[in-house]
Structure 1
Amino acid sequence: MVLILPLFVCLTLIYLYTTRNFRYWSKRKVKHDPPVPIFGNHYRNLFGFESLAETYTELYFKYPDEKVVGFYRGMMPGLLVRDLDIARSILNVEFSHFYLRGMGRDPEKEPLLSNLFHIDGDKWKFLRQRLTPVFTTAKLRAMFPLIIKCAEKLQVAGEHITSKGGDFDCRDFMARFSTDFIGACGFGIEMNSINDEHSAFRELGRKSLSFPLRHIILLGIWELFPEVRNSIRVSSTEVEKAVSDLVESIFRQRNYKPCGRNDFVDFLLELAQKGKMESESIENSDSEGNPIRVEFELKTMDLIAQVFVFFVAGFETSSSATSFTLHQLAFNPDIQTEIQNEIDQVLAKYDNKLCYDAISELSHLEMAFKEAMRLFPSSGFLQRLCAKRYTIPKLGVTIEPGVITVIPIQAIQTDEKYFDNPMEFKPQRFSDDAGKKINNYTYMPFGAGPRACIGGRLGQMQSLAGLAAVLQKFTVEPTPKTPVKLPIDPWRNVLQCVKGGIPLRLKLRSKLN
């Protein structure tokens, strides 16, 4: 009996503390699901029942008549945006109010997160401006011979698979291709991951995106209790050391100077040589409202962090997109045959060799790739954090700094309001005539606005080359183990990922057999 009163007081205090923000949306007359103490509306994600993209997709379709829907991520209020005009304002027009991505974790404690994807504010703007020239058309064309070399190795690896019966994990197969490409274009290293599924670089990629129990628990605590975030380090020190050692060894080989390879590492070393550089602030202005000038100097760890995100995000998104495309083509053999015929016709003009101009002419392949990205975008949602008090003109709803805003692109891209029979794989949606009618904010696999994916064009070009290499020589088919609907990994939230592999069968095309 003596213990009951203190326990009751303790539980009451916990309840009051964890529910103190739970009237945020009701005060603003924004519809929302009733939140659960401590967990808000995200308990299914926190306990691994569904990914965040699935949570947001479910919420999107639950309120079909609303322009926005409220939710609580732990104790923090968030706003899910259903209206395309409001989404456009947040991502683009009112960017000064929503320039923060709001990933939140501290780059000082987790240095690999000091990269273009995770950081916010002035440093983000500075890096974005300085890294954009890496992805010009001229640079992409110059990289293409390296992509073709990797694509040719992919065909050799495919022949090895067919000689052993043809069953293979498409997800891992395309991940090895992406890893080799990034090694060649980013690091200037021949990785040979395509022929060695246990190569050091492929293993590094797996470790970088693994979610051990420790990681899951710490990330859950970080999500639920903002007050303790500054004392939590989530990422693995083992991965950080492996990446740092690898990149620094490349820097040393080049004497910390560009060596003329014109790859991503060369570009970063060239930037570092410039010393202190200035940029206009996105966060602070002078008394007249003009942005102040801020100074930055890139340190070695800043460079390593950019190489890390180039490596991890590059191979993860491209391998996911290409393997999902092949999965869809396996279940749609007529579309696959149409694409293969196009590949044959186009390559006949180029001595049956893949090249930059040939890939640019493969319109049916590009349509299929875009349709796969519509059905399963690598990022299932876009997140922005309100940086300044903002009133949504359409609704008169005011949100405060710190409120998460989410644009659920997985849901928008599969909404029958925007796409007929949205779950059907129909590449013709992206033909020249039909594609022009698609609203820019109903199809955003690479994001939109100033924080759209900087490497989107490179990723698409590399993906199309890999797909063309496979379909030029092989046909993909489902196996008895291939699910029609692929399961989603509930622990992958930043980037969507299929749970497990994608079992398919590879066959030499009849004209080559």
Structure 2
Amino acid sequence: MGVVLESTSLEWLSVGIILVSCVYLYYKNVYNFWKKKGVKYVEPVIPFGNSKELLMLRISLAEFFKGFYDAFPNDPYMGIYEFTKPDRGVTFDEELEPLSAHLLFLTGSRWKNLRAKLTPTFTSGKIKMMYHLMEECAQQLKQSLDKPATNQQMMEMKEVMAKFTTDVIGTCAFGLQFNAIENEDSEFRKMGRRVFSPSIRDTLVRIIRTACPSVLSLFKIKSMPQEIEDFFVGAVKETVEYREKNNYIRNDFMQLLIQLKNKGKVHHDDEDAAENLKNGSHQEETHGKSNDIDFSDKLLAAQAFIFFLAGFETSSTTLSFCLYELALNPDIQDKLRDSIRTVVNRHGGKLTYDSLNDMPYLDQVIEETLRMHPPASFLSRKVTKPYVVPGTSLKLEEGQRILISVYGMHRDAKYFPDPERFNPENFSSEAKAARHHYSYLPFGEGPRICIGMRFGLLQTKLGLATLLLNYEFSVCEKTEIPLRLDPKQFITSSRTGAWLRIKKCASS
């Protein structure tokens, strides 16, 4: 019997050695992909590839990709591995997750057609029509801060700014009063927190999506909790039904979506037509073919959903990072406040749409904030056809992913001297003219550039100008210096928020 047991043990040991050897050889072959192509890479770790620290939530996305950017400073590109793949895109099952059917995740002709349909909703003329709605939210923000400013309280400004931008998106996108500024229990603010405060379940789904996305489809596991999907689909459906039933028309994003649903295109006004002519756009190209896309309630909800998320979170983090930097640099804060007052006085003492577009130093400060703290810390693009990188023998194959570390490039001394210092002069007309245009990419570039860029910048400028005309911001005992980035967030965000002391301006 002892001989039999010993024989069996040896057999199992042999099987184990063979299995381990097979796994090792498999990974060795997979992890030779970039070596065979002559591309430099950071040595991967079995079975995580280069993603271990990211998946273990030990590092933020911004710092993760910056690490690769800095690894080979003299090389124009390098290779990375996510688990066993040299490249992997994020894919979603639209049938399973209807809220994923928006511009950020769609690809190919479906993305192209939808982009063409939605582009007219974000022209300067359309956004200008929404300015008075933003202005009402800015006044509510001021009213909510007067008392704490009088008492010179410490406030977590990221949450304050998130309430402001949530209300702006509520009135401009949904045509609803979210009342996030005044009401701590605002349902839309709760949903916003829920999306950007991932649970353990959300984190596990994120890991599975990176490692083996087919598992999610196989077992019908959604990235987005059902309660969030039901909430947004229901809110959009109710709004659309109410407006159509009562023939209610309002100058906002939802009304433009209803136009797309019913007419297949967005109505152009004279200002839009002039803008299209200036940009070389043609009406036929902008509208697309009317039968390409069926604007169902769920497709409308997906567009409103991404507008809500991108609109409130990116702008609120930009505003809070900006206030943080201004608190650390009071001389810049004072200079900006004086420049805003000068322009406002020149425009009849009012903070108008035109006056905001006449504030070059405000633009510089916001651009510098977006340089140091880009909400989207990296860009992802997919190779659509074979391409040989100029000046090299590297051939990119169709389907491969190209990742650009925006955060890394924005903090590269080759493009921005003393990159860790907050310096709005990086965006003087002279500095911009001397720098490569594509060294600054807070909104992306090319056909997939952020479609809501102008809207986001407008609400950011309005919010910041309103605050600085009335209040001063300074560091306090709760201010974290330097800020640490949150590894759980997809958007560049601080772990502890932005705690600052607020007080009324002497002349406000």
* TM-score normalised according to structure 2 size: 0.89
Q: Taking structure 1 as reference, are residues 182 and 417 closer, same or farther at Cα in structure 2, changes over 3 Å only?
A: same
Distance 1:448 1:436 in 2: 18
1:328 corresponds in structure 2 to: 325
Higher helix proportion: 2
Higher strand proportion: 1
1:33-92 per-position Cα deviation (integer Å, ceiling 9, x unaligned)? 11111200110000001122211101111111111111101111149xxxxxxxxxxxxx
2:419 alignment partner AA: P
1:503 corresponds in structure 2 to: 499
2:143 corresponds in structure 1 to: 156
Q: Tell me if structure 2 keeps the 8 A contact 1:475–1:509.
A: yes
Superposed CA RMSD: 2.2
Q: Tell me if structure 1 keeps the 8 A contact 2:79–2:86.
A: yes
1:502 alignment partner AA: A
1:395 corresponds in structure 2 to: 392
Distance 1:6 1:217 in 2: 32
Distance 2:98 2:138 in 1: 33
Q: Taking structure 1 as reference, are residues 454 and 309 closer, same or farther at Cα in structure 2, changes over 3 Å only?
A: same
1:35 corresponds in structure 2 to: 44
Gaps of 5+ in 2: 1-8, 267-287
Q: How does 1:301-340 map to 2 (within 5 A)?
A: 301-340=298-337
1:381 corresponds in structure 2 to: 378
**Alignment counterpart, residue 188 of structure 1, candidates 158, 162, 175:** 175
2:136 alignment partner AA: K
Q: Tell me if structure 2 keeps the 8 A contact 1:272–1:299.
A: yes
Q: CA deviation at 1:476?
A: 0.6
Distance 2:124 2:208 in 1: 43
Q: Taking structure 1 as reference, are residues 131 and 227 closer, same or farther at Cα in structure 2, changes over 3 Å only?
A: closer
2:75 alignment partner AA: E
2:211 corresponds in structure 1 to: 224
Mean CA deviation greater in 427-436 or 254-263 = 254-263
2:63 corresponds in structure 1 to: 54
1:252 corresponds in structure 2 to: 241
Q: Tell me if structure 2 keeps the 8 A contact 1:179–1:201.
A: yes
2:408 corresponds in structure 1 to: 411
Q: CA deviation at 1:31?
A: 0.6
| 3-state SS in 1 of match to 2:148 | helix
Higher Cα Rg: structure 1 or 2?
2
Q: CA deviation at 1:270?
A: 1.1
1:297 corresponds in structure 2 to: 294
1:451 corresponds in structure 2 to: 448
1:321 alignment partner AA: T
1:468-508 per-position Cα deviation (integer Å, ceiling 9, x unaligned)? 00000000101112122211111223x22222321111110
2:74 alignment partner AA: D
Query: Is 1:472 matched with 2:481?
Result: no
Distance 2:57 2:253 in 1: 36
Q: CA deviation at 1:363?
A: 1.6
Distance 2:127 2:37 in 1: 48
1:284-309 per-position Cα deviation (integer Å, ceiling 9, x unaligned)? xxxxxxx9998322221111100000
Mean CA deviation greater in 186-195 or 346-355 = 346-355
| 3-state SS in 2 of match to 1:76 | coil
Distance 2:264 2:37 in 1: 49
Query: Is 1:421 matched with 2:418?
Result: yes
Distance 2:315 2:258 in 1: 25
1:166 corresponds in structure 2 to: 153
Distance 2:97 2:79 in 1: 31
Q: Tell me if structure 1 keeps the 8 A contact 2:150–2:504.
A: no
Query: Is 1:123 matched with 2:110?
Result: yes
* TM-score normalised according to structure 1 size: 0.88
| 3-state SS in 1 of match to 2:402 | strand
| 3-state SS in 2 of match to 1:382 | strand
Mean CA deviation greater in 497-506 or 452-461 = 497-506
Distance 1:325 1:400 in 2: 40
Query: Is 1:67 matched with 2:96?
Result: no
Distance 1:15 1:157 in 2: 61
Q: Tell me if structure 2 keeps the 8 A contact 1:19–1:37.
A: no
Distance 2:334 2:289 in 1: 57
Q: Between Structure 1 and Structure 2, how many residues are aligned? A: 476
Distance 1:293 1:361 in 2: 38
| 3-state SS in 2 of match to 1:117 | coil
Q: Taking structure 1 as reference, are residues 226 and 151 closer, same or farther at Cα in structure 2, changes over 3 Å only?
A: closer
1:198-225 per-position Cα deviation (integer Å, ceiling 9, x unaligned)? 3111111111222111111122122112
2:328 alignment partner AA: F
1:441-466 per-position Cα deviation (integer Å, ceiling 9, x unaligned)? 11110100000100001101110000
Q: Tell me if structure 2 keeps the 8 A contact 1:60–1:411.
A: yes
Query: Is 1:442 matched with 2:477?
Result: no
Distance 2:247 2:42 in 1: 54
| 3-state SS in 2 of match to 1:504 | strand
1:265 corresponds in structure 2 to: 254
Q: Taking structure 1 as reference, are residues 265 and 16 closer, same or farther at Cα in structure 2, changes over 3 Å only?
A: farther
| 3-state SS in 2 of match to 1:379 | coil
Q: Tell me if structure 1 keeps the 8 A contact 2:259–2:265.
A: no
Mean CA deviation greater in 464-473 or 478-487 = 478-487
Gaps of 5+ in 1: 80-101, 278-290
Distance 2:486 2:265 in 1: 42
Q: Taking structure 1 as reference, are residues 4 and 241 closer, same or farther at Cα in structure 2, changes over 3 Å only?
A: farther
1:383-414 per-position Cα deviation (integer Å, ceiling 9, x unaligned)? 01223332212211012233221111111111
1:73 alignment partner AA: E
Q: Tell me if structure 1 keeps the 8 A contact 2:265–2:290.
A: no
**Alignment counterpart, residue 482 of structure 1, candidates 479, 482, 486:** 479
**Alignment counterpart, residue 26 of structure 1, candidates 32, 35, 44:** 35
Distance 1:215 1:332 in 2: 38
Q: CA deviation at 1:108?
A: 1.8
Identical-residue share of aligned pairs (%): 34
Q: Taking structure 1 as reference, are residues 276 and 196 closer, same or farther at Cα in structure 2, changes over 3 Å only?
A: closer
Distance 1:307 1:20 in 2: 45
Q: Tell me if structure 2 keeps the 8 A contact 1:180–1:193.
A: yes
| 3-state SS in 2 of match to 1:211 | coil
Q: Tell me if structure 1 keeps the 8 A contact 2:150–2:503.
A: no
